[in-house]
Amino acid sequence: MSLHAVTEINSLSRDKFVRIIGPVFEQSPWIAEAAWAKRPFASRGALHAALCETVAGASAEKQLHLIRSHPDLAGRLASAGALTAESAREQAGAGLDRLTPGEIEQFRKNNAAYRAKFGFPFVICARLNRKEAILNGFRTRLPNTREQEIRTALEEIFKVAELRLNDLISS
């Protein structure tokens, strides 16, 4: 991961901008494509705000697609080594790559219950949590309504995006 300055990001062609900024949102380059036209960005925070505004202004269908682009935590993709590089690092940082068989089963059951109720994966900013907090998050969020969980998932995605931007952009 190389650090870029905001001025460098502002001068990128659309294709390069999407290639660099696109992965900030899990498998959703459409967000970077749409935000590119909002350049120049005064700061990393302004870029983050523009990206989040793009998501907030998107259709409910596009928002759900973004949420569904996230993998289950400690799920099948993780055990198959098929996560994006960013997700693999984030899940490992939360300790999800070092689970006991019992913990793996807890995650499997929680992921299944959450998907069955809401129709999308449980999204939480893994870099800001550890496995215990994530497991507790399932318990506290499962009683929520679908609308509450869509809002919460998008808020968590925005946190992930901010941390990923911090990794990419020096200031």
Residues classed as catalytic: 70
Nearest residue to 151 (alpha-carbon basis) of 91, 67, 85: 67
Q: Is 137 left (phi over 0), alpha (psi -120 to 50) or beta?
A: alpha
Q: What are phi and psi of 163, to 5 degrees?
A: -65, -40
Task: Count CB atoms within 10 A of the CB of residue 101.
Answer: 7
What kind and span of H or E run contains 68? helix 60-68
Angle between helices 14-21 and 29-36 (to 10 degrees): 140
CB neighbour list of residue 20: distance below 8 Å, 6 or more residues apart: 4, 9, 12, 168
